[in-house]
Amino acid sequence: MTVRGLALVVVMLSAPPAPALAQPAITAVRVSGAGPIADPAARVWKDARPVKVAMLAQTVTLPNLAEPAVKELSVRAVHNGGWIAFLIEWTDATLSDRLLVDSFGDQVAVQLPVDVKAAPPSPMMGHVGGRVNIMQWRAALQHDIDKGAPSIKDLYPHAWTDVYPDEVLGATDARPYAGALGIENPVSRGVASPVLDQMAEGWGSMTVKPDQHALGKGEWKEGTWRVAITRPMVSDDVNAPRLVPATRTAVAFAVWEGGHREVGARKAWSPWIPLVIQAAPPKAGAR
């Protein structure tokens, strides 16, 4: 391959991918109430029209996913003037809510551009100068919150240990043996929400934000996941979008089926979909 040809390939891979076929807009319907909307069984979801979102296999960057297990999501959106929320539903015959060396967990993510007034960046986790906010729900975190974190014996029944380093060493000396906790990986610490509030500017750049604002809850029943993800519409977080009623932006989604060995870049994703934030209802007596 010539230098010119190689340069062309690099440009093609680094540029934002062309948008896929347009899908119907998702409308965040104005509902009553205040505070987070994190219950997938809440009555407010009945006010919102579900939109079918076609999912694509991630074949742009390694590791690829040739054929996604989840080919379609059903998405509803609502807001109460202070919080916006998404209800995401999909079929999954296998419940995967524990992480082991050779198995992975179910996950779903909502992506919003941080700068809602500009043209959306690349739908694949943004690009340099085009930052996105990614709220990622994880079934394993939901399991730990609902049922408590599993022990080593729970995960590996045949494992055997005589002593742990932190039982015989001081905190400083035991730190190198603590794995992800030892290097202060925020995902490995105890979490209050099964949703990780993250930001990214392209592949390999996703970072858990210091201040976590996203909340949510997921429920698996009879082969179907129902996951609610919610965040404040406006906050003091400079790495979060400022969402205002009667405006438009865009939203994208990603989903991982743990039973299909999907993890990291092996996922199904959607291009940007128009997101309409419904105006506040008129005040009583107004004409």
CA dihedral 126, 65, 196, 280 (to 10 degrees): 60
Q: Are 52 and 74 in contact (CB under 8 A)?
A: yes
Burial class, 119, CB count within 10 angstroms (exposed 0-12 / middle 13-18 / buried 19+): exposed
CA angle 269, 270, 273 (to 5 degrees): 155
**What is the distance of C-alpha 260 from the center of its chain?**
18
- DSSP secondary structure letter of residue 185: -
In a domain, 93, yes or no: yes
pLDDT confidence of residue 190: 66
pLDDT confidence of residue 46: 95
CATH code for position 242 = 2.60.40.1190
In a domain, 40, yes or no: yes
pLDDT confidence of residue 227: 98
pLDDT in tens, the chain (287 residues): 444 444 333 433 444 444 444 689 999 999 999 999 999 999 999 999 999 999 999 988 888 888 999 999 999 999 999 999 999 999 999 999 988 888 899 999 999 999 998 999 999 999 999 999 999 999 999 999 999 888 888 888 888 888 888 888 888 888 887 777 777 676 666 678 999 999 999 988 999 998 899 999 999 999 999 999 999 999 999 999 999 999 999 999 999 999 999 999 999 999 999 999 999 765 654 44
Q: How many domains does the chain have?
A: 2
Looking at the fold, whether 44 and 139 belong to one and the same domain comes out as yes
The tokens describing 266, both together, are: 């092996």
Looking at the fold, whether 121 and 243 belong to one and the same domain comes out as yes
Give me the domain span that covers residue 179.
151-189
Q: Which of 161, 189, 217 is the last residue of a domain?
A: 189
C-alpha span between 52 and 27 (Å, rounded)? 13
pLDDT confidence of residue 259: 92
| C-alpha distance from residue 262 to each of 56, 155, 181, 183, 277 (Å) | 13, 19, 24, 25, 32
The tokens describing 178, both together, are: 């603590």
In a domain, 69, yes or no: yes
Q: Which among 69, 90, 79, 74 is positioned nearest to 33, based on CA atoms?
A: 79
pLDDT confidence of residue 5: 41
Amino acid at 209: K
pLDDT confidence of residue 256: 97
In a domain, 14, yes or no: no
